Chain A
Amino acid sequence: MTQLGQKESEIFELLKAVKDPEVPVLDITDLGVLRKVEVIDQEVLVTITPTYSGCPAMEMIEQEIVACLNQHGYPKVKVNLVLSPAWTTDWMSEEGKVKLKAYGIAPPEKATEDKSALFPEQKKVGCPQCNSKNTELVSQFGSTACKALYKCLDCQEPFDYFKCL
């Protein structure tokens, strides 16, 4: 994020009302999906980036951005979708990670890449219920593309892990 002017900062704050429809505890600033806000003449240009190419939430997020800003006195809004630089879970805010865990989803570990052998090593993921690291991967793909399914071997609870990208 570059330095924002006052108006841009205000709009940025307003856009915290736009949630990820699939993980409603996170807003688009927590996720790092909101990349840029510019005000050019009377028009607001909002730049967002998808978490996954096929993420079905993007269209809804676009609509909600427009609706949110219209409601707050910005009638002209354009949403621009960019792919590069590609979204990474490293852009998720610390606040977002805390919210995610409280919601019962294990937040992403740092997305450092491991180039070893055939498969990069699996991260140890902490259970969001009991904090145990004694957990195992059940499936790389959970209820949405951005989540993997884990099981805690101590408290036996299954849980979602917001996987690294």
Chain B
Amino acid sequence: MTNDLLKYVLRRADSELVLGHRMSEWCGHGPELEEDIALINISLDHLGQSRSLYQYAAAVDGEAKTEDHYAFQRNERDFGNFLICELPNGHYGNTIARSFFYDVHSLLFYERLVHSADKTLAAIAEKSLKEVKYHFRHSAEWVIRLGDGTEESHAKMQEAIDEIWTYTGELLTDDELDIEMNKQGIGVLNSSLKDAWYNKVEAVLNEATLKIPEGAYFQTGGKSGIHTEHLGYLLAEMQYLPRQHPEATW
């Protein structure tokens, strides 16, 4: 039971951390100053959310581990993040499409997690939800701006949506752990978010004059630690310093 909860909390924390790290790679490279700042602010929210979750994981774990242990001392196969979070930034349309699909999921997920029987998770959800509303507004507005923009931006945005679509399946399906956590009143069934997710995504894509992809083949594996080749590189960069200099402090 404790073990299930730990795994469940870590998985969500991993998604927030990995996406937050990806977005931080834009620092100093944003397409314009305001966007550079916006992305880093959102990245910081994701990191903050992951910290709250890792701190809770440490408390559940009870083995004197710290939040840093989970972020910096675990290997690829131990990470349970959604695959979509680890995808490379690509061009701005890719970054926006990735965030957009994830943000819609987060919005719906945290809206329900607020009612979790686990009081700490409910509190983290309550806090995160307020932030995610701003994230969704940011990513959705950019989907619309680029989709309903020039011929070139439209084509690139559609391509990004189609490409990243294959990584959205995981956001809307459950594995044994999701089902078990939901049975205990702690977790949320991703499958229960499916209709609302689809409706929200469709509404934005319509507004953006983009087509909703029809592909029914989805990549999976993130939640069970089977990742794309991209995660290893991300972790290598993120974990290098704390692993090389375990005693380093600010």
- A positions within 8 Å CB-CB of B: 50, 52-56, 82-88, 118-119, 138-145, 149, 163, 165
B229 to chain A, nearest CB (A): 28
A138 to B49, CA, bound (A): 26
Q: Mark B40-55, 1 if CB is under 8 A from A, else 0.
A: 0110111111011000
* Chain B residues, CB < 8 A from A56: 44
Judging by beta carbons under 8 Å apart, are B37 and A139 in contact?
yes
Judging by beta carbons under 8 Å apart, are B34 and A138 in contact?
yes
Judging by beta carbons under 8 Å apart, are B124 and A52 in contact?
no
Judging by beta carbons under 8 Å apart, are A82 and B123 in contact?
yes
B233 at the interface (CB under 8 A from A): no
In chain B, what residue has the closest Cβ to A149?
Answer: B34
B137 at the interface (CB under 8 A from A): yes
A85 to B119, CA, bound (A): 11
* Chain B residues, CB < 8 A from A55: 48
A85 to chain B, nearest CB (A): 7
In chain B, what residue has the closest Cβ to A144?
Answer: B41
B205 to chain A, nearest CB (A): 11
A141 to chain B, nearest CB (A): 4
Judging by beta carbons under 8 Å apart, are B124 and A140 in contact?
no
Judging by beta carbons under 8 Å apart, are B45 and A52 in contact?
yes
* Chain B residues, CB < 8 A from A118: 140, 203-204, 207
* Chain B residues, CB < 8 A from A163: 134
In chain A, what residue has the closest Cβ to B206?
Answer: A118
Point out the residue from A53, A143, A144 that lies within 8 Å of B51, measured CB to CB.
A53
B6 to chain A, nearest CB (A): 19
Q: Mark B191-212, 1 if CB is under 8 A from A, else 0.
A: 0000000000001100100000
In chain B, what residue has the closest Cβ to A49?
Answer: B127
A66 to B36, CA, bound (A): 35
Judging by beta carbons under 8 Å apart, are B126 and A54 in contact?
no
A138 to B137, CA, bound (A): 14
In chain B, what residue has the closest Cβ to A111?
Answer: B130
* Chain B residues, CB < 8 A from A139: 34-35, 37-38
